[in-house]
Every structure is written in C-alpha cells, then in structure tokens.
C-alpha cells in the first residue's frame, strides 16, 4: 500500500488533543517520489502500522450455525471460530488450526 501524498508539519505546542489540530500554513507536502531520505523510515513505519491495523480489523462477519467467520480489512486474513472450540486462521499466507479440548491444546502448521 502506498500513500499518494504525505503532509509533514509540527503540532503547535507539541501536544495532541482529542480534536485534530489545524495544520499551520507552512505544511510540507511530498509525493512518494519526492519524499526526503530522512522521512523514509517514518513512511515505512506508517505503512507497517496501517497493514497491522488492517490485519486485525474485522471487515465482514458471517455467522453460521456451527461457526463464526471473520474477514479482516486487509482482505488477505480471515479467522474461522467453530462453536465446538476449533479455530482456523489464515494470516498472511500462513494457515494454522487449533483444536481445543478440555485438557489440551494442539497446534498444527
């Protein structure tokens, strides 16, 4: 995922509040091609953060008589929880299943 534009500015007073601050008139705007080298680590961190949030945020939930299925915002990750206690998840192309019994938990890769 690439952001088309990045706005860089310092918050007056340096503190965040519950409402977003008004950007000052001297906002620096960069496209990805024009982004200075010193801002690339921040950009990569933001992209990673957004991917993580999308992988954990539910976009669609389907309730069946024996399971609940969740498709995450990334559209690549999904989770199926069976009412019998079994669990299946596809998270970034790694598929894992888990069977929960009264005394043991078994993981399979």
Determine phi and psi for 51, rounding to 5 degrees: -65, -40
Q: Tell me what pLDDT residue 100 has.
A: 53
Q: Rounded mean pLDDT of 21-36? A: 81
Averaged confidence pLDDT in the chain: 77
Whole-number percent of the chain with pLDDT over 70:
77
- Summarize pLDDT for 62-99 with one digit per residue, the tens: 898 888 989 889 888 888 888 888 888 877 655 565 55
| pLDDT at site 15 | 72
- pTM, two decimals, is 0.61
Question: If you average pLDDT over residues 9-35, what whole number do you get?
Answer: 77
Instruction: Please write the tens of the pLDDT for every residue from 47-57.
Output: 899 888 988 89
pLDDT band at 58 (very low <50, low <70, confident <90, very high): very high
Q: 73 in helix, strand or coil?
A: coil
Does an H or E element contain 47, and which? helix 40-56
Which strand (E) or helix (H) includes residue 35?
none
Strands 87-91 and 6-8: unpaired
């Amino acid at each position: 995922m690439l952001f088309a534009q990045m706005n860089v500015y310092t918050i007056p007073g340096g503190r965040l509040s519950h409402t977003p601050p008004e950007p000052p008139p001297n906002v620096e705007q960069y496209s990805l091609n024009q982004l200075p080298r010193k801002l690339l680590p921040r950009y990569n961190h933001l992209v990673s953060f957004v991917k993580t949030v999308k992988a954990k945020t539910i976009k669609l939930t389907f309730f069946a008589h024996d399971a609940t299925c969740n498709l995450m915002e990334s559209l690549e990750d999904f989770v199926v929880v069976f009412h019998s206690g079994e669990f299946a998840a596809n998270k970034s192309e790694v598929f894992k299943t888990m069977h929960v019994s009264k005394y043991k938990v078994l993981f399979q890769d």
